[in-house]
Chain A
Amino acid sequence: MKRKYRVVGALPVLGNAVGAVFEASLPKDQEALLLAGGHIERVVDAPKTKEKDK
């Protein structure tokens, strides 16, 4: 399953520059190591707000 990540460490990750947001389907072990090492963080899109009923 593809997830969104942001590169937050000091070095590029998977071809993405520091600060960039990217989508990838990372193997569980690799994701855990990259998250724990401060290389990437998950990006969670804010839930869409419903329009108020008029």
Chain B
Amino acid sequence: MKHVLTDAFVEVNGVNLSSHCSSVTIEDGAEEQDVTGFGSGYREVIPGLKTASISLNIFQDYDNGSVYQTLNPLYESGGTFGVKVRPDSAAKSGTNPEYQLTGRLFNRPALAGAVGEANTSEVTINNGGTAGLVVGTA
């Protein structure tokens, strides 16, 4: 069945940010390395190094124990942290896979918006671990 995102689950460093996220995008891909040799009629490409990231569009919230207090220290520390995303807030399963990334934040999610608009930030979490994007179903 085609899926519509209405109740996606987004957890960053153990904090459930789902209620403050309006979009989430997971990207995971490999560089194409050309290994075409003489005598080939076609280019031959193989996968090289992979890149993974999770991007969020979040509504900023400066309350204690909320968005800013979650993301800003992660940016300032420069350390790695866990991110979990599921299509639905229900437990992970074969039909509700959980995407896990050990990430790092390279941009401070501070503030953005015009007069009268919601204060939103685009946050991109890049892979900071050795395992890359891991998919869990059980």
Q: Is the CB of A9 within 8 A of B81?
A: no
Q: Is the CB of B64 within 8 A of A13?
A: no
Q: Is the CB of B73 within 8 A of A33?
A: yes
Q: Is the CB of B81 within 8 A of A39?
A: no
With A30-B13, A34-B14 as known contacts, state yes or no: A10 contacts B77, CB within 8 Å. Answer: no
Contact residues in A for B81 (Cβ distance below 8 Å): 29-30, 33
Q: Is the CB of B74 within 8 A of A39?
A: no
For chain A, the count of residues having a C-beta within 8 Å of the partner chain is: 19
A17 to chain B, nearest CB (A): 9
Which of B15-23, B30-38, B113-121 lies at the interface?
Answer: B15-23
**How many A-B contacts if CB must be within 8 Å?**
65
> Could you say which of A15, A30, A37 contacts B65, with CB atoms under 8 Å apart?
A37
Q: Is the CB of B64 within 8 A of A33?
A: no
Least CB separation from B79: chain A residue: A29
For chain B, the count of residues having a C-beta within 8 Å of the partner chain is: 22
Mostly helix, strand, loop or mixed at chain A's interface? Answer: loop
Does B107 lie at the interface of the complex (its beta carbon under 8 Å from any beta carbon of A)? no
> Could you say which of A9, A11, A26, A38 contacts B19, with CB atoms under 8 Å apart?
A11
Q: Is the CB of B77 within 8 A of A33?
A: yes
Q: Is the CB of A13 within 8 A of B14?
A: yes
> Could you say which of A15, A26, A39 contacts B70, with CB atoms under 8 Å apart?
A39
B11 to chain A, nearest CB (A): 8
Q: Is the CB of A8 within 8 A of B13?
A: no
Given contacts A30-B14, A30-B81, A38-B69, 12 further A-B contacts (CB under 8 A): A7-B65, A9-B63, A10-B63, A11-B15, A11-B70, A13-B15, A29-B81, A34-B15, A37-B64, A37-B65, A37-B70, A38-B65
